[in-house]
Chains A and B, each alone.
Chain A
C-alpha cells in the first residue's frame, strides 16, 4: 500500500538554527511521535524504536534512518525502513527549507510510505489517517521544539 502526504510548518527560527536541528540525528529522532529509543550511529545514521498502533495492530517498530542533507543546505531528504510485529514500512520524506522572512523558516515537506504486512491489511480504513498523523506530528514536533 502506497501512501503520500505533504504539508508545511512555519518555524519561528532562522535558517541556520532550523538546519542545525534537522540535520542532528539525536534531535530528529526524538521528534518521532511515540519514540521509545534513539541510537545514533554517525552524523547521518540512527535507529529509532517507536510505538505504533493501527487499528487492532499494535506494537513496536524498529526503524533504520538515514539523513541525506544536500550540500547547499536547502533540502533534507530522509530514508527510513524497518518494521515490527510482522509488518514492514519504507518511508521517504523530503523537506525544503525556505526563508519566510522576519527570522522565520518554512519547512515544506512531503512524504511517501509503503506499508506491508498486517498494517497494510487494515488498509485505507485506518492506516492512511494514522500514517498521516504520525508524519505530520513529526514535523509539528520539529516546529514545537524550535519554538520553545
Chain B
C-alpha cells in the first residue's frame, strides 16, 4: 500500500499527513501568531477568592499604568446588556465578568486593555478589588445540603442543577434484589483538565465595513458565530469567525469564554484590534474541565456470571455555572451508554448535578459527552463483579457480550448499537498480548509474592452526535456539512463545518473526496474554520467529524459524481444510463475500452459540458440516522513495586474497531495520543481543590502531562466492523483510547493488588495511593 496515494484507492491508505510539513517546520498559523496594526492586549483580573462578595473595584491605579487604555468591569458589561453569557446547552448562564460576587477562584473580575501584553498585566495587577469572603462550597455533597446558596440569581433557590434519569427504576431495583450475586462500588472519576498545549485565545477587531473579524481558538466556529450574534446583538452577517491552526483542543475549545466577549467589547469600545491569549494557569483554572462524577455502581448477576441488572447513581460537580456543553436534551450527555458491551436485560442510570465554588465546565477532554465516565463505571464494575464471582474477568465479559448477530442491538437504556464483533476484537487482543502465558506467569509471580496485574477493558463508545431528532446545541441541530468544488484541471477544494485540532482533516477529507471521485488526494485542498467560506457545521468534538462531516463529504462527492456522470455521457456519446463508475473511472457499460477519467470530465465540465449545467460542485448537509458505536478491547499489564507503590506499565495492547478506516496511520496516531492521555488520567492528572476552594493544580509542575519518558509503549491492532448506516462504514475513533484505557490501567493495578484484598482505588492511581493501599492491606485495614 503506497504511503502517497494518487488517483485510485485513497480510503484505507496510510497517506502521510498533508498538514505536517507546515507544523514540523514551525509554519503553523496560530491565534497568537496574529498581529494587526494598533493591536491592544487584554489581561484579566481574576479572583483569589472562591466565593466572595465584591465590595468595590478601584481602577484608578490601573489607569495610571503607562500604556493602559481602558478597564472594564462586570458592572460596565451589565449596563451594556452583556453581563451574562448563555452556556451551550442553554439552561444556565455564566457571568462574563463578576457581578456582585465571585463564585470560583480565578473567576474573571475585570478586563484591562493596554498597548502591550506587559502593560496589560501590570494594569491588571493594580486593579484594587475589595472582597468580603463568603463560605465556600468545595464539593457536591456539601452543596446538596443547600446551607450556602451559591446562585441566588437563579429562579430555583437551590444548588441542585438537574436530575436526569433513564431506564427502568423499579424493574432494575427488583432485578437487583432478586439477583443471587450483587456488587456495589462508589467510584469517583476525578476532575481533570484537557490542557491543550496551546491555551485559548482570540483577536477581535471591527473592519472598515464595521464587520467583526474574530480569530479564535474554536472547535466550533459556526456555533460561535451564532452564539455571538445572540449575545451581542450584532447581526450574524456582520460576524466573521476564523479558527486558524489549533494546538490541541480535546473539548476545551468548545465553550465560549469570558475573555472572548471582553476582547470583542474592548475592540468595539476602543476601536482597535484586541488580542487575548490566556496563560497556562488561566487555562487550567478557569476553562472547561472534565469529569468530576461520583458514581455509585451496582451490578446484579447469576451465580454463573450472567449479568441481570445495572444501576448507576451519580452525583456530579458542575462548578459555579452549568457550562457543560451538552446537547440540550441530554444534561448528563450520553451517559446512558453505561451498559457498555453487555446484554443487561434491565438498567437504570441517574445523575444529579450540583453547583460548587469551582471552575465551570465538565464534558471536555476527548470524550463524547460523558461516555468516558460511563465506560469507566461499567468496565471497573465488570472487574469487581468478576472478582466477587471468582470468574476470570475475560471470561465474564465473554459470557455477557452482545453477540455479533444481535446487532442492531437495542440497549436497556435506549440506544441502538449499530454493529460490532466484540468476541473477535477481544480475541485479537488476547492473542496479541499472549493472555494464556501471562496468566501462567502471573500465578508464578504471585507465588513469589510479586504484584503483577492484568487489566482488561472491552468498551463500547457512542459517538457522532447526532440525529437531529435527538441532538442540538443551543437549538441548532447537530448535523454537519461539506461543500466540494472540483476545478477544471481536476484539482479541488473541500470545505467542511468541522475544525481539525490535530486530527489530520486536511489529509483524511482529501482522501474521502479522492476515493469517491478517483482524483489525486494531493490536489484536493481542505479548508475549515472560516465561517465566511465553510458551510454551516457544528464543529469537531465528541468524535463526530468522520461519523457526521465525513459522511457529508462522501455524500457531496457522490453528488458531484452524479453530475459528472452526465458530462461523462456527453463525452462518451452515450446515454447517461449506459455510463457506469468502475475502477475510479467512468466507462460505457460492458465496453472497458471506452473510459473517461474524472480529471477529463472535470475539464469538460468547464469547457465542453454539452447540454449540462457548467461547473462541478456540490454541497451536502448530513443528518445522521443514528450514532456510531466504535468499540475496542484494551489490555494492560502492570508490575507494582510492593515497597514503594510504583506502578510500571509493562505492556499495553489496544485493539480498536472504528469501522472503515480512512487513514490507518492517522488512526494509529490518534490512538497513541488518546492512550497517552488515558494513561495520564489513570496515573497522574487531577485538578484538586482544598476545602477552602483553592485550586492546587495551576501549572504543569502540579498538573502533569506525560512526556515520552513516562509514556508506555503502545501496541495497536484493529478489527473492522463497518457501520451499516454510515456511507463509508466509518465510526470515528478520536476519543476511543481516552474512553477505553483508564479502566484497563486501573483494573490492572487492582488485579495486581487483589491478592492483598484491595478492591478499588480512585484515579489518579498515584504511587502514594498505591503505597497506602498496600500498607493498609498489610496492616489489616483494607
Judge whether A121 and B692 touch: CB under 8 Å: no
Judge whether B692 and A117 touch: CB under 8 Å: no
Residues of chain B lying within 8 A (CB to CB) of residue A103: none
Q: Count the A residues whose beta carbon is within 8 Å of the partner chain — how many? A: 19
Judge whether A121 and B48 touch: CB under 8 Å: no
Judge whether A86 and B133 touch: CB under 8 Å: no
Judge whether A121 and B125 touch: CB under 8 Å: no
Judge whether A88 and B695 touch: CB under 8 Å: no
Within 57-83 of A, Cβ neighbours of B (below 8 Å) are at 59, 62, 83
Judge whether B694 and A1 touch: CB under 8 Å: yes
A116 interfacial contact with B, CB 8 Å: yes
Judge whether A59 and B125 touch: CB under 8 Å: yes
Assuming the contacts A59-B125, A85-B125, A88-B48, asked whether A118 and B281 have C-beta atoms less than 8 A apart, the reply is yes
Assuming the contacts A1-B690, A88-B131, A90-B133, asked whether A123 and B696 have C-beta atoms less than 8 A apart, the reply is yes
Judge whether A2 and B696 touch: CB under 8 Å: no
How far does the alpha carbon of A59 sit from the alpha carbon of B46 in the complex, in Å? Answer: 16
Judge whether B692 and A114 touch: CB under 8 Å: yes
How far does the alpha carbon of A87 sit from the alpha carbon of B697 in the complex, in Å? Answer: 15
How far does the alpha carbon of A118 sit from the alpha carbon of B695 in the complex, in Å? Answer: 9
Judge whether A117 and B133 touch: CB under 8 Å: no
Q: How far is the CB of B269 from chain A (nearest CB, A)?
A: 24
Judge whether B695 and A1 touch: CB under 8 Å: no
Q: How far is the CB of A146 from chain B (nearest CB, A)?
A: 34
Within 102-127 of A, Cβ neighbours of B (below 8 Å) are at 114-118, 120-121, 123
Judge whether A116 and B105 touch: CB under 8 Å: yes
Residues of chain A lying within 8 A (CB to CB) of residue B177: none
Residues of chain A lying within 8 A (CB to CB) of residue B547: none
Q: How far is the CB of B271 from chain A (nearest CB, A)?
A: 29
The digit string for A82-102, where 1 denotes a CB below 8 A from any CB of B, is 011111101000000000000
How far does the alpha carbon of A1 sit from the alpha carbon of B692 in the complex, in Å? Answer: 7
Residues of chain A lying within 8 A (CB to CB) of residue B695: 121
How far does the alpha carbon of A116 sit from the alpha carbon of B692 in the complex, in Å? Answer: 8
How far does the alpha carbon of A123 sit from the alpha carbon of B125 in the complex, in Å? Answer: 21
B369 interfacial contact with A, CB 8 Å: no
B416 interfacial contact with A, CB 8 Å: no
How far does the alpha carbon of A1 sit from the alpha carbon of B691 in the complex, in Å? Answer: 8
Residues of chain B lying within 8 A (CB to CB) of residue A123: 696
What is the chain B residue whose CB lies nearest that of A2?
B692
Residues of chain A lying within 8 A (CB to CB) of residue B702: 121
The digit string for B18-36, where 1 denotes a CB below 8 A from any CB of A, is 0000000000000000000
What is the chain A residue whose CB lies nearest that of B46?
A86
B49 interfacial contact with A, CB 8 Å: yes
Residues of chain B lying within 8 A (CB to CB) of residue A90: 133
Judge whether B105 and A117 touch: CB under 8 Å: yes
The digit string for A130-143, where 1 denotes a CB below 8 A from any CB of B, is 00000000000000
Judge whether A116 and B125 touch: CB under 8 Å: no
Judge whether A88 and B694 touch: CB under 8 Å: no
Judge whether B48 and A117 touch: CB under 8 Å: yes
How far does the alpha carbon of A45 sit from the alpha carbon of B131 in the complex, in Å? Answer: 18
Judge whether B696 and A121 touch: CB under 8 Å: yes
Assuming the contacts A2-B692, A85-B125, A88-B131, asked whether A118 and B698 have C-beta atoms less than 8 A apart, the reply is yes
Judge whether A84 and B125 touch: CB under 8 Å: yes
Residues of chain B lying within 8 A (CB to CB) of residue A85: 125
Within 667-695 of B, Cβ neighbours of A (below 8 Å) are at 690, 692, 694-695
B50 interfacial contact with A, CB 8 Å: yes
Q: Count the B residues whose beta carbon is within 8 Å of the partner chain — how many? A: 21
Judge whether A88 and B698 touch: CB under 8 Å: no
Residues of chain B lying within 8 A (CB to CB) of residue A84: 125
Judge whether A120 and B125 touch: CB under 8 Å: no
Judge whether A86 and B690 touch: CB under 8 Å: no
- The listed residue (B48, B128, B692) touching A86 by CB distance below 8 A is B48
Judge whether B133 and A87 touch: CB under 8 Å: no
How far does the alpha carbon of A1 sit from the alpha carbon of B688 in the complex, in Å? Answer: 13
Assuming the contacts A88-B131, A121-B702, asked whether A83 and B48 have C-beta atoms less than 8 A apart, the reply is yes
How far does the alpha carbon of A48 sit from the alpha carbon of B50 in the complex, in Å? Answer: 25
Assuming the contacts A85-B125, A121-B702, asked whether A116 and B696 have C-beta atoms less than 8 A apart, the reply is no
Judge whether A116 and B698 touch: CB under 8 Å: no
How far does the alpha carbon of A62 sit from the alpha carbon of B50 in the complex, in Å? Answer: 20
How far does the alpha carbon of A90 sit from the alpha carbon of B690 in the complex, in Å? Answer: 17
Assuming the contacts A84-B125, A85-B125, asked whether A120 and B694 have C-beta atoms less than 8 A apart, the reply is yes
How far does the alpha carbon of A62 sit from the alpha carbon of B695 in the complex, in Å? Answer: 22
Q: How far is the CB of B564 from chain A (nearest CB, A)?
A: 60
How far does the alpha carbon of A84 sit from the alpha carbon of B125 in the complex, in Å? Answer: 7
Assuming the contacts A116-B694, A121-B698, asked whether A88 and B125 have C-beta atoms less than 8 A apart, the reply is no
What is the chain A residue whose CB lies nearest that of B696?
A121
Q: How far is the CB of B62 from chain A (nearest CB, A)?
A: 13
How far does the alpha carbon of A132 sit from the alpha carbon of B133 in the complex, in Å? Answer: 23
Residues of chain B lying within 8 A (CB to CB) of residue A116: 48-50, 105, 692, 694
What is the chain B residue whose CB lies nearest that of A85?
B125
Residues of chain A lying within 8 A (CB to CB) of residue B694: 1, 115-117, 120-121
How far does the alpha carbon of A59 sit from the alpha carbon of B697 in the complex, in Å? Answer: 20
Residues of chain A lying within 8 A (CB to CB) of residue B45: 86
Residues of chain A lying within 8 A (CB to CB) of residue B131: 88
The digit string for A1-37, where 1 denotes a CB below 8 A from any CB of B, is 1100000000000000000000000000000000000
Q: How far is the CB of B753 from chain A (nearest CB, A)?
A: 28
Q: How far is the CB of A21 from chain B (nearest CB, A)?
A: 30
Q: How far is the CB of A89 from chain B (nearest CB, A)?
A: 9
What is the chain A residue whose CB lies nearest that of B131?
A88
How far does the alpha carbon of A2 sit from the alpha carbon of B133 in the complex, in Å? Answer: 14
The digit string for B115-142, where 1 denotes a CB below 8 A from any CB of A, is 0000000000100100101000000000
What is the chain A residue whose CB lies nearest that of B124?
A86
How far does the alpha carbon of A120 sit from the alpha carbon of B697 in the complex, in Å? Answer: 10
Residues of chain B lying within 8 A (CB to CB) of residue A114: 692
How far does the alpha carbon of A112 sit from the alpha carbon of B128 in the complex, in Å? Answer: 24
Residues of chain B lying within 8 A (CB to CB) of residue A59: 125
Residues of chain A lying within 8 A (CB to CB) of residue B105: 116-117
How far does the alpha carbon of A90 sit from the alpha carbon of B106 in the complex, in Å? Answer: 17
Q: How far is the CB of A143 from chain B (nearest CB, A)?
A: 32
How far does the alpha carbon of A89 sit from the alpha carbon of B589 in the complex, in Å? Answer: 83
Q: How far is the CB of A8 from chain B (nearest CB, A)?
A: 29
What is the chain B residue whose CB lies nearest that of A121?
B698
Q: How far is the CB of B163 from chain A (nearest CB, A)?
A: 33
How far does the alpha carbon of A117 sit from the alpha carbon of B692 in the complex, in Å? Answer: 11
Residues of chain A lying within 8 A (CB to CB) of residue B698: 118, 121
Q: How far is the CB of B300 from chain A (nearest CB, A)?
A: 44
How far does the alpha carbon of A65 sit from the alpha carbon of B731 in the complex, in Å? Answer: 63
Q: How far is the CB of A44 from chain B (nearest CB, A)?
A: 19
Q: How far is the CB of A61 from chain B (nearest CB, A)?
A: 11
Q: How far is the CB of A126 from chain B (nearest CB, A)?
A: 12
Q: How far is the CB of A2 from chain B (nearest CB, A)?
A: 7
How far does the alpha carbon of A66 sit from the alpha carbon of B284 in the complex, in Å? Answer: 36
How far does the alpha carbon of A116 sit from the alpha carbon of B693 in the complex, in Å? Answer: 9
Q: How far is the CB of A108 from chain B (nearest CB, A)?
A: 28
Please name the 8 residue pairs, one residue from A and one from B, whose CB atoms are nearest each other, closest first: A117-B48, A88-B48, A120-B694, A116-B48, A121-B698, A87-B48, A85-B125, A121-B696
Show 7 residue pairs from A and B whose CB-CB distance is below 8 angstroms, ordered by the A residue.
A1-B690, A1-B694, A88-B49, A116-B694, A120-B48, A120-B690, A121-B696
Q: A1-B694, A2-B692, A116-B105 are in contact. List 19 more A-B contacts (CB 8 A).
A: A1-B690, A1-B692, A59-B125, A86-B45, A88-B131, A115-B694, A116-B49, A116-B50, A117-B694, A118-B48, A120-B48, A120-B690, A120-B692, A120-B694, A120-B696, A121-B695, A121-B697, A121-B699, A121-B702
Which chain A residues have a beta carbon within 8 Å of chain B's beta carbons?
Answer: 1-2, 59, 62, 83-88, 90, 114-118, 120-121, 123
